Chain A
Amino acid sequence: MTEIKRFLNATIRTDAYILYRRRYQGSLVILYSRLLLFAALGAFAPVVVAQDCARPDGFTETRNIYVSTSWTGAADTPCALRAELSTGAPTLASGFAANPFAGTVSQVRLRFAVDYSELVINSILKSATIVSIVGSEAPAASSAQLLRLALNGIGGVPNLSLIYPDVAAAPSAPGYTARNVVLNGTGSAQIGIDLQLGSSGYIRYWIDADFDAPPTGRIPTTGYLDFSARGNATGLSMGMFWISQSFRSANASKALVISDIKVDDYLFWSGYE
């Protein structure tokens, strides 16, 4: 669907350019042939539109091991990602869609809504990751992971955990630490992330706040995080994975839904660039 839109947009732009050129050359023959082609594509396009929602740019089809994940939504509307946990799911149960970047990027901006109202998240032992962002390098004995977002029940209520490299950890340890943010009691949340990488890195996050408002929090609160050992970001995954045993046993056949997914969306970030 996205590819068709791009092609049609490209066709429109190309035809406008040809019109400009032909106006001065006195010939519209090629333009008319393009318009006929465009009309023919238009005749077929509704058939395709009726079949699929629009997957967020850059995301793959879903991958599933004991988690049933799918892109869902009405035709010609943005897809949501629904992930339902299977009964008896093992340690590496996972359902996700990846978004490998075309190259490495020094800044990742992500926003989405998550509906976790079906899930039981009432203990620190119940945890599931919903977003992972990785870099291009993995330090020895550690991971390339830059930031992981997890739902868990710290304090008996749903939290969002932001798990990030602990730059003070010993080099031989995996070295991650977390900030936990209590979510509202409605069973859904709007989440925005601004991840700045490099030696002067930081994480800003918005929870149920407009993106033109001040961020809900910043990691670190003052100063910077040195992400340079993990390079720039190479991609991210969304879904349900890294799921604790307690979470799996309490949430069999239950689902979460991630919607309104936008990666590197500058439109809503004008207030705090």
Chain B
Amino acid sequence: MKTPASFVLKTGGLALLYAGGAAAQYGTSTGTTCGFPSTINDLSSGVYQLLGSDVTYPVQQYYGTATLTADASGPPLVLAVCKDPPSPTADCLALEAAPGVPTTLSYTPTRPNTSTNIWIVVDALQPAGSATPACGSYTVMITGPLG
């Protein structure tokens, strides 16, 4: 289901998608949160507590959509879209992606902002009562204003 989110981006240009500092193609990427540490535990002042391993994609673009599909044989994952660099108070929205089910967040400009990036986060959850975060493989598709 497509759910609107209100994020603001000031400048556009060519969109770039990369993870872990390595350049990647804009569009569809596959990856895994396994082997990545949990670097972002809280977003939007604790509205989202995501204790699992995570991967972050900074993307430079005005608006668009991000669609996350968690591997059908793996655990559910979380897709977050942030208009600030991930931190406990980063301005983000997040949605859980059930295994094998594409989950989409869209982001559109609604007011002036000095940010030129948005940050797309693929995160794992930490099962209740477990000290070990879940992790899994995924496909993420990021589209810009031109699709």
A residues within 8 Å of B by Cβ? 60-61, 63-66, 90-92, 94, 96, 98-101, 129, 132-136, 138, 141-145, 148, 172-174, 234-237, 239, 241-242
Contact = CB atoms under 8 A, between A and B. Distances in A.
B45 A99 contact: yes
Contacts of B110: 61
Given A138-B41, A172-B131, A235-B88, A145 B49 contact: yes
A142 B88 CA distance: 12
Interface in B41-85: 41-42, 44-49, 51, 78
B131 A235 contact: no
B95 interface: yes
Contacts of B25: none
A202 B51 CA distance: 25
Interface of B: 3, 5-6, 38, 41-42, 44-49, 51, 78, 87-89, 91-96, 110-111, 126, 131
Contact of A98 (B38, B44, B49): B44
A242 B96 contact: no
A63 B6 contact: yes
Contacts of A60: 91
B95 to A, nearest CB: 5
Contact of A174 (B44, B47, B51): B51
A65 B89 contact: no
Nearest to A61: B6
B42 A144 contact: yes
B93 A142 contact: no
Nearest to A141: B131
B88 A98 contact: no
The SS class assigned to the A binding surface is: strand
A237 B131 contact: no
B126 A174 contact: yes
B42 A138 contact: yes
B22 to A, nearest CB: 25
A65 B78 CA distance: 13
A159 to B, nearest CB: 20
Q: When A and B form their complex, which 5 residue pairs have the shortest distance between CB atoms, in order from nearest?
A: A132-B46, A237-B45, A235-B89, A138-B41, A134-B88
29 contacts: A61-B6, A63-B6, A63-B47, A63-B92, A65-B95, A92-B94, A94-B47, A94-B93, A96-B44, A98-B47, A98-B91, A99-B45, A132-B46, A133-B46, A134-B42, A135-B88, A138-B42, A138-B88, A142-B51, A144-B88, A145-B46, A145-B49, A174-B51, A235-B88, A236-B45, A237-B44, A237-B45, A242-B47, A242-B49
A55 B63 CA distance: 26
A134 B89 contact: yes
Nearest to A96: B47
A65 B88 contact: no
Nearest to A66: B3
Contacts of B89: 98, 100-101, 134, 234-235
A151 to B, nearest CB: 15
A141 B39 CA distance: 10
A148 B5 contact: no
Given A143-B42, A172-B131, A94 B51 contact: no
